[in-house]
Amino acid sequence: MNIVVLAKLVPDLVEELEIDDSGIALDMTWLRLIINELDDHAIEEAILLKERTGANVTVLAPDIEGVDDILFTAAAKGADRLIKIVGDYESGVNNLGLARVLTPVIKDLQPDLILAGVEAHEDLDGSIGPLLAGYLDLPFIGYVASIELEEGKATATKEYPGGLSAEMEVALPVVLGIQVADEPPRYVAVSKVRQAMKTAEIEELEAGDFDLSGGPTIDRMYQPEVGESATIIDGSLDDIADSLIGIFKELGVQ
């Protein structure tokens, strides 16, 4: 059983985001990049499946600054093989472009199961998982919260709004978009990551030229007006607490 997991780095939303001088892209100068949270769940799910079935786990990631860190961290968690796709990401690569480059790479790896976070907060041209499924001519199930593997097939639990889910059976190979792993992503000690840096190897594959066609062109990027509707309550903590209690009373909930 071969599992391939896709992981990528995205801006950390805890940091303040700024638009660069072009007005159509984020200013990357001080931006902190972290693993797309849902990709982290996809890696966790792959490792859980490995522990249950003995599957072999390959983690595949675009070579963006910080990629070694996320790959070695995956190795420390139990990933068997690490691959980064080297290319020119400077001017931005959309999901269509990335999916087109990843398609032959994934075909060569002959996976039974391909996992990716179901979306990333920077997606503007669809999500990498179903785009890949389209190019690979494989079925896709997204918003998956749990996976069971059996001979030649997977049972995936897909989430719908309102807490409803559906158990879906699908023949392998399949691409699954992960919403959440069966268990929260495990913590891995820095010392184990350091050890992985010494023992694990990151393979490099060339992306070649990206074909970005089909993705939209951005003419303007901006931050929405903040606080348009909120009345900000300020003052000392004491005053604020009193004001809030006043509001609760007025609204009839206290």
Partner 1 sequence: MNKDILVVIEHIRGEVADISYMMIAAARQLAETTEGEVLAVLMGSGVENLAGNLAADKVIYFEDPQLADFTSSTYQQTLEILISEVNPRAVILGHTSIGMEVASLLSAKSDLPLVSTCLSFSGENGLIKFTSQLYGGKILAEGLIPEPIALLTMVPGGYKPEDGQSSTPPLVTTAAPPQFTDLQISIKQYIEPETGDVDITLQPLLIAVGRGIQLEDNIEIAEELAEAIGGVVCASRPVVDQGWLPTSRLVGKSGYRVKPKVYLALGISGAPEHTEGIAGSETIIAINTDPAAPIFNIAKYGVVEDIFDLVPLLTEKIEES
Identify which range of 54-62, 78-86, 121-129, 191-199 contacts partner 1 by CB under 8 A: 121-129
Sign of CA dihedral 7, 13, 15, 18: positive
What is the separation of C-alpha 84 from the centre of its chain, rounded to a whole number of angstroms? Answer: 15
Identify which range of 59-67, 72-80, 126-134, 199-207 contacts partner 1 by CB under 8 A: 126-134
If one asks whether residue 51 binds partner 1 (CB under 8 A), the answer comes out as no
If one asks whether residue 92 binds partner 1 (CB under 8 A), the answer comes out as no
List the one residue out of 9, 211, 223, 197 whose CA is nearest residue 98.
211
If one asks whether residue 78 binds partner 1 (CB under 8 A), the answer comes out as no
How far apart are alpha carbons 141 and 118 in whole angstroms? Answer: 9
Q: Which is nearer to partner 1, 75 or 111 (CB)?
A: 111
Sign of CA dihedral 244, 246, 250, 254: positive
If one asks whether residue 50 binds partner 1 (CB under 8 A), the answer comes out as no
Least gap, CB of 66 to partner 1 (angstroms): 17
Query: Which residues between 214 and 233 bind partner 1 (CB under 8 A)?
Result: 214-233
Token output for 137: 């001519």
How far apart are alpha carbons 174 and 113 in whole angstroms? Answer: 5
If one asks whether residue 11 binds partner 1 (CB under 8 A), the answer comes out as yes
Q: Which is nearer to partner 1, 189 or 230 (CB)?
A: 230
Least gap, CB of 24 to partner 1 (angstroms): 8
How far apart are alpha carbons 177 and 198 in whole angstroms? Answer: 31
Least gap, CB of 105 to partner 1 (angstroms): 16
Least gap, CB of 252 to partner 1 (angstroms): 7
Identify which range of 57-65, 83-91, 127-135, 199-207 contacts partner 1 by CB under 8 A: 127-135
Query: Which residues between 167 and 206 bind partner 1 (CB under 8 A)?
Result: 167-171, 174, 177, 179-180, 183-184
**Which residues, listed in sequence order, are joined to residue 85 by a DSSP beta bridge?**
62, 205
Token output for 227: 């606080």
If one asks whether residue 122 binds partner 1 (CB under 8 A), the answer comes out as yes
If one asks whether residue 26 binds partner 1 (CB under 8 A), the answer comes out as yes
Secondary structure class of 39 (helix, strand, coil)? helix
List the one residue out of 136, 132, 117, 110 whose CA is nearest residue 4.
110
Q: Which is nearer to partner 1, 30 or 222 (CB)?
A: 222
Q: Which of 30, 54, 163, 199 binds partner 1 (CB under 8 A)?
A: 163
Sign of CA dihedral 179, 180, 181, 186: positive
Token output for 204: 């490099």
